[in-house]
Amino acid sequence: MAKHKNYEDSHFEEYLETQKIVNIDIEKRMKEAFIDYAMSVIVSRALPDVRDGLKPVHRRILYSMYEEHLTHDKPFFKSATTVGNVIGRYHPHGDASVYDAMVRLAQDFSMRYMLIDGHGNFGSIDGDSAAAYRYTEARMSRIANLMLENIDKNTVDFAPNFDEKRQEPVVLPTRIPTLLINGSSGIAVGMATNIPPHNLTEVLDGVIAQIDNPDITVEELMEYIKGPDFPTRASIMGRRGVRQAYETGKGKVIVRARTEIEEHKDGTSAIIVTELPYQVNKKMLVESIAQLAKEKRIEGISDIDDHSSDRVGIRVEISVKRDANPQVVLNQLFKFTRLQDSFSINMLAIQDGKPKTMGLREILADFIAFQEEIVTRRTRFDLEKAEARMHILEGLKIAIANIDEVIEVIRNSYDDAKEKLMARFGFSEIQAQSVLDMRLAQLQKLNSDKIDAEYNDLKEKAEEYRLLLSDHGKLMEQIKEELSEIRAKYGDERLTSIEHSIDDIDIEDLIDEEENVFTLTHYGYIKRLPVSTYRSQHRGGRGISALSTREEDFVETLFTASTHDNILFFTTRGRMYHLKGYRIPEAGRHAKGTAIINLLPLEGDEKITAMLKVRDYDDEAYLIMATKMGTVKKTAVSDYNMTRKGGLIAIGLNEGDELIEAKIVSPGDNIILSTYKGMAIRFKESDVRAMGRTAHGVRGIRLRGEDYVIGMAVAKENSELLVATEYGFGKKTVLDEYKIQTRGGVGIRTYKITDDTGFIAGIKTVQENDDLMLITSEGVIIRMETGAISSIGRSTKGVRLVKLGDGIKVVSVALTEHEEEEDAEDAAENAENAENTESAEGEKTEE
């Protein structure tokens, strides 16, 4: 078998040799091929050359138009012909890619300095496509002439085109720093470039400054080059990102639309947008604003209209609702739309045939070096041309001095006139040929004075050329002078302003921070209103109406928080939703508020069961959650620092269980759970180990019969436990009466339940500066100082806190900071109510 196999292998190898089939390593060959492809894309398609700032396709378009003499002072020329010339002569790729590149060079919203003057539809800032190339016409712009100036003076190298039938320039001899003034963007293989446009005047000032001081710093350069200058104007917010990009080649700048707020006679206002960030599609922007307003992600917008035109420019009018703050709406627009956009700078270009990320100084240094090369090669060309002409003029001067003899030699010669002239008068071959190229009549009319004048002029220029080539200082002065002339002729004012630095837009900066009462009704209507709306009353007062509800609705949850707080909404299904306090609409005292389902994507019978305020998502802070069936769970607050449209899982729940409360705890805190039927347990928070966000938790209290957990409180230092019942009774008890037990027990009695008191409505830990707020099923809130509530034993009946009519119950309990505010009318009213207060203190009974 082995011999047979060896025979077959050798036979196969002989077959491969006869068929000229090469055996290669496919993996190695694929790597080599991909590297070749990548380098072709990087060098020959996607990235600009640092010297002229152009990609090959743009360079070929301009050179092809130059060949056809399509300069700014010539008639427009069909784009289809230009595209065909580019493809047929220099760029063997698709016509669409060539035309798209050509169109961009003619768009005033894409190019800071347009290199092509277009005639016809070349697209719009709304994203409209240009007309087909058979309809449009184009020619080079005036400033584009500077891109090809003196290209016929051997200022740059030429190379064969793709079929080696023509020569094309490897780079254009530009006199303007195109890479910076027009920028560039492109995606290559494994890399990308994104260079913003700049102002020509500023960049040329920077170039001249760097010529004068090659060691100039970026900070000093930024005195001349302030930052990017976009064709769409707008404003750059801060210089930190600009400085970073100029120093390292990479950075990010924030660009903001230019807007103004118009006040109308009818009391309404509108936000007027007149300038947009670079590369922002206006039509898509308007649509996105309208959609955000429709979804109520941005509040306060009543209408949006686009009145932009060629005559007035960009004008987008955003109408603001009468009761909305236009500045707040504007900042919401900056935060959630591309009215404020970021431009990531990556100054990557081809340098010496290789891609390189460069800072500002290096780009300017390369441009200066390129200008030295251009002017040197141009000067050398001019010198050689002057010397060649002077050599001919020297021969003509000899011919004039011997005109009759020269003419006789020419007339008497048949085909050896050149040799005879060279032998007789000492002409060089070139001089002799120049004499022979002239007709005899021209020779006879030669004027020695004119020849002498031309000769002397050329001699003087030749001396200047030699001086430039021999003196580097003179050469640089010549470059500076020429750049100054370009600046004077083509320079313009900056379009993009640079404003003071900003951080990420924070709407809170324009919203007053104040304590608000947040209420949620049984049928899911939520609102907020200032705490000061509720005047502090004495124990036993009738209270102030918190809202007007429909007959079958009542306020179920009350919560106090700042407008700047993060409000975490915990639901009966164990999910958590997040809103900023100010995102909840403010409403009047008697208004029912906004349906919670308009703010949160609640599902089915899912209800909000707890609201929690969080200012910062601290890694060291923890949440304690309690369920109706007595389970507790501790989780780091930082685990909830994320938002999802459908909410987050806050706790895993067993079938039939509900989440009833959530609190923030600190190390050393004690947790108190209270049941509906008056049992309570106190245990250390450390008894509950920290768990993941989706965990189910552990047993907190063992329940008896049909009992369930009604509330959870965190025992704080110098605080007491306040317990309120359904029928308006309540009391305070020092925490020492609640001994610390092991988690999971049945607990001890916390209240003497009677028919007068009803079962437990809620519990809170209170301190001296707290005010208690009770809310009833009828929507009435009473606010009182907790200091006015008796502090009595644990298992007692308590005192009456609020008078309730038949069928009315206390449904929620909340705390707020005490305010010293009471006018005479309130004092009289509360004194009268206090006289009628019924107080009943029960006998203390031990369990």
Per-residue pLDDT for 43 more than 60? yes
Residue 157: count of CB within 10 angstroms of its CB: 10
Name which of 826, 824, 721 is nearest 770 in CA terms. 721
Q: Which residue among 338, 362, 395 closes a domain?
A: 338
Position 31, amino acid: K
Per-residue pLDDT for 504 more than 60? no
Give the residues across from 348 on adjacent strands.
Answer: 357
Calpha distance 527→179 (Å, rounded): 55
Of the ranges 30-34, 130-134, 796-800, the best mean pLDDT one: 130-134
pLDDT level of residue 41 (50, 70, 90 thresholds)? low
List the CATH number of the domain containing 333. 3.30.1360.40
List the CATH number of the domain containing 142. 3.90.199.10
Name which of 657, 651, 614 is nearest 635 in CA terms. 651
Task: State the number of CA atoms in the 13 A half-sphere of 264 facing the CB.
Answer: 14
361 assigned to some structural domain: no
pLDDT level of residue 522 (50, 70, 90 thresholds)? low
352 assigned to some structural domain: no
List the CATH number of the domain containing 411. 1.10.268.10
Q: Does residue 740 come out as left (phi exceeding 0), alpha (psi in the -120 to 50 range) or beta?
A: beta
Task: State the number of CA atoms in the 13 A half-sphere of 401 facing the CB.
Answer: 8
> Which member of 7, 15, 37, 135 is catalytic?
135
Name which of 600, 521, 576, 499 is nearest 256 in CA terms. 499
List the CATH number of the domain containing 671. 2.120.10.90
428 assigned to some structural domain: yes
Of the ranges 382-391, 415-424, 442-451, 554-563, the best mean pLDDT one: 382-391
Instruction: Check whether residue 485 and residue 535 sit in a common domain.
Output: no
Instruction: Check whether residue 312 and residue 398 sit in a common domain.
Output: no
Helix H or strand E segment including 89:
helix 79-89
Spacing of C-alpha 808 from chain mean position? 54
Instruction: Check whether residue 168 and residue 288 sit in a common domain.
Output: no
pLDDT level of residue 817 (50, 70, 90 thresholds)? low
Q: Which residue among 459, 490, 521 closes a domain?
A: 490
154 assigned to some structural domain: yes
Range with lowest mean pLDDT among 178-182, 353-357, 665-669, 748-752 = 665-669
Spacing of C-alpha 358 from chain mean position? 23
Per-residue pLDDT for 370 more than 50? yes
Calpha distance 52→753 (Å, rounded): 89
SS3 (DSSP) at 286: helix
Per-residue pLDDT for 832 more than 70? no
Calpha distance 239→251 (Å, rounded): 10
Q: Hey, what are 394's tokens?
A: 């020297």
Instruction: Check whether residue 384 and residue 266 sit in a common domain.
Output: no
pLDDT tens for each residue of 60-93: 999 999 999 999 999 999 999 999 999 999 999 9
Per-residue pLDDT for 437 more than 80? yes
Burial status of residue 273 (CB atoms within 10 A of its CB: 0-12, 13-18, 19 or more): buried
Q: What is the mean pLDDT of residues 806-827?
A: 67
Length of the chain as a residue count: 847
Calpha distance 473→462 (Å, rounded): 18
Q: Hey, what are 229's tokens?
A: 């200058």
Q: Which residue among 174, 199, 234 closes a domain?
A: 174
Instruction: Check whether residue 599 and residue 718 sit in a common domain.
Output: yes
355 assigned to some structural domain: no
179 assigned to some structural domain: no
CA distances from 457 to 435, 453, 474, 489, 527 (A): 21, 6, 20, 28, 90
Calpha distance 233→257 (Å, rounded): 8
Mean per-residue pLDDT of the chain: 88
Q: Does residue 335 come out as left (phi exceeding 0), alpha (psi in the -120 to 50 range) or beta?
A: alpha
Task: State the number of CA atoms in the 13 A half-sphere of 301 facing the CB.
Answer: 25
Count, in order, helices (H) and strands (E) of the chain.
20, 41
Calpha distance 241→341 (Å, rounded): 13
Of the ranges 124-133, 646-655, 763-772, the best mean pLDDT one: 124-133
- ∠ CA(638), CA(641), CA(644), 5° rounding? 145
pLDDT level of residue 52 (50, 70, 90 thresholds)? very high
**What pLDDT does 830 receive?**
45
Instruction: Check whether residue 479 and residue 528 sit in a common domain.
Output: no
Position 271, amino acid: I
Per-residue pLDDT for 833 more than 50? no
Q: Name the residue with tokens 């020269």.
A: 406
Name which of 768, 721, 759, 775 is nearest 559 in CA terms. 775
pLDDT tens for each residue of 399-424: 999 999 999 999 988 889 999 999 99
pLDDT tens for each residue of 593-647: 888 888 888 887 888 888 788 877 776 788 999 999 999 999 988 888 877 777 8
Instruction: Check whether residue 329 and residue 379 sit in a common domain.
Output: no
137-140 and 77-78 as β-strands: parallel, antiparallel, unpaired?
Answer: antiparallel
Contact 826, 537 (CB under 8 A): yes
Q: Hey, what are 110's tokens?
A: 């894409």
Q: Any alpha helices (H) in 437-566, and if so which ranges? A: 440-444, 448-470, 472-490
Instruction: Check whether residue 29 and residue 52 sit in a common domain.
Output: no
Spacing of C-alpha 784 from chain mean position? 49
pLDDT tens for each residue of 672-682: 999 999 999 99
Per-residue pLDDT for 714 more than 60? yes
CA distances from 217 to 36, 360, 575 (A): 38, 10, 56
Q: Is 135 a catalytic residue?
A: yes
Q: Any alpha helices (H) in 115-199, and if so which ranges? A: 145-148, 178-181
**What pLDDT does 510 receive?**
62
Tally of domains in the chain: 5
Instruction: Check whether residue 388 and residue 284 sit in a common domain.
Output: no
Residue ranges of E strands in 52-150: 77-78, 116-119, 137-140
34's CB contacts (< 8 A; 6+ apart) are: none
Calpha distance 420→818 (Å, rounded): 122
Helix H or strand E segment including 570:
strand 566-571
Calpha distance 13→832 (Å, rounded): 116
Q: What is the mean pLDDT of residues 713-725?
A: 88
Instruction: Check whether residue 27 and residue 111 sit in a common domain.
Output: no
Range with lowest mean pLDDT among 53-62, 682-691, 760-769 = 760-769
Contact 665, 700 (CB under 8 A): no
pTM for this model (two decimals):
0.64
553 assigned to some structural domain: yes
Helix H or strand E segment including 12:
helix 2-18
Q: What is the mean pLDDT of residues 317-343?
A: 91
Q: What residues make up the domain containing 120? A: 47-174
Range with lowest mean pLDDT among 26-35, 722-731, 745-754, 798-807 = 26-35
Instruction: Check whether residue 583 and residue 730 sit in a common domain.
Output: yes
187 assigned to some structural domain: no
Residue ranges of E strands in 24-171: 77-78, 116-119, 137-140, 158-160, 167-169
Give the residues across from 699 on adjacent strands.
Answer: 631
Per-residue pLDDT for 172 more than 70? yes
172's CB contacts (< 8 A; 6+ apart) are: 52, 54, 59, 62, 63, 147, 148, 151, 156
Task: State the number of CA atoms in the 13 A half-sphere of 398 facing the CB.
Answer: 17
Instruction: Check whether residue 561 and residue 631 sit in a common domain.
Output: yes
What angle, rounded to 10 degrees, do the helices at 95-104 and 56-67 form?
80
Calpha distance 336→689 (Å, rounded): 39
